[in-house]
Amino acid sequence: MILVVGASGMLGGMIAGQLLEQGKEVRVLQRSNPAYESLIEAGAEGVPGDLKDRASLDRACQGVEIIITTATAALRGGADTFTSVDQMGTKNLIEAAALANVKQFIYVSAYGSDIDSAIPLLRYKGECEQRLRISGLNYTILKPHIFIEVWVGAVVGIPLKAGAPVTLIEGGQKRHSFISVGDVAAVALAAVGNSAAFNREIAIGGTPPVSWSQITEVVGGVMQRPLQVRSVQIGEPVPMLPDALWPLLYATETYETAIDMTDVCQTFGLTLTPLEDSIRRLFGGAA
């Protein structure tokens, strides 16, 4: 039995769905959310639970061999915060998994996670990675960089839909290894029960690295019209983007990344999705 935590989200739902297509026994930690309905109809077992409720996690982990968690409070609200979900909630899940003698714990963290990070989300991710390493569990820590569908959908897609300019930080010049959510799901699926992924941290990024400015050009090309773009300095408001996400966007203009996926692709038999293909799927119908 494989427990997927975060299955109401884009990545978790994709992973759970593909596991079901492979004929795997799948359990999803279920809250009152219609996003789970299609997974239940496809054969997943829904178990009521919440990362903030340790007792519910103990029940959900009973009889489970592998846990995959993609859960994050990034697009949530209310009682679901980075502290309650990404920090304490994930630690609760690790402890419940260890108690249940789970054979593998696959944790979707984030590229740049560090216990000393000034960005709370990345600091909490780093703390959970550290907790996982000393848990005694066979762990697989996936560290994807910027999700194309999530971040480009928010930073570019939301203002476009509203007829407003796209806001970039300091012109959006730093280059990064943006990655398709589907490619992250593919790595997670390839890691399931795979000893080559045990006790390993895997950075995940697409190639070649591009800047936010280049992203807007690609979107404009797909839509066959130039985009309106405005630039703000680090620390200034980013209209239409949840303010909890501003520090992460600011951070993208303080460094560059170039993640070499050659070894990962060879080890797990993967082919990365070209950036243009992901952008076309996101914006092609809006041209």
pLDDT tens per residue across span 1-22: 999 999 988 999 999 999 999 9
- pTM summary value: 0.90
Other C-beta atoms lying within 10 Å of the C-beta of residue 62: 13
| 197: in domain | no
pLDDT averaged over every residue in the chain:
92
Contacts of 251 (CB under 8 A, 6+ apart): 112, 119
Same domain, 139 and 149: no
| DSSP-derived 3-state class of residue 258 | coil
76 CB burial (10 A radius; 0-12, 13-18, 19+): middle
Same domain, 137 and 153: no
Same domain, 1 and 63: yes
Same domain, 104 and 210: no
On the question of pLDDT at 177 being above 90, the answer is yes
Same domain, 280 and 248: yes
In this structure, what CATH number is given to the domain that contains residue 286? 3.90.25.10
Same domain, 80 and 163: no
Using the structure block, give the residue that is written with the tokens 């999705």.
273
Nearest Cα to 204, choosing from 139, 117, 255, 272? 272
Answer yes or no: are the C-beta atoms of 88 and 71 closer than 8 Å. Answer: no
Same domain, 215 and 127: no
Answer yes or no: are the C-beta atoms of 172 and 216 closer than 8 Å. Answer: yes
pLDDT tens per residue across span 134-157: 999 999 999 999 999 999 999 999
Same domain, 131 and 265: no
Within 13 Å of residue 42, how many CA atoms lie on the same side as its CB? 20
Range of the domain at 252: 145-180+204-287
pLDDT of residue 287: 46
Beta bridge partners of 69: 5, 107
Same domain, 164 and 260: yes
| 258: in domain | yes
Other C-beta atoms lying within 10 Å of the C-beta of residue 15: 27
Answer yes or no: are the C-beta atoms of 249 and 155 closer than 8 Å. Answer: yes
| 189: in domain | no
Same domain, 35 and 118: yes
| 191: in domain | no
Answer yes or no: are the C-beta atoms of 175 and 211 closer than 8 Å. Answer: yes
In this structure, what CATH number is given to the domain that contains residue 87? 3.40.50.720
Same domain, 158 and 249: yes
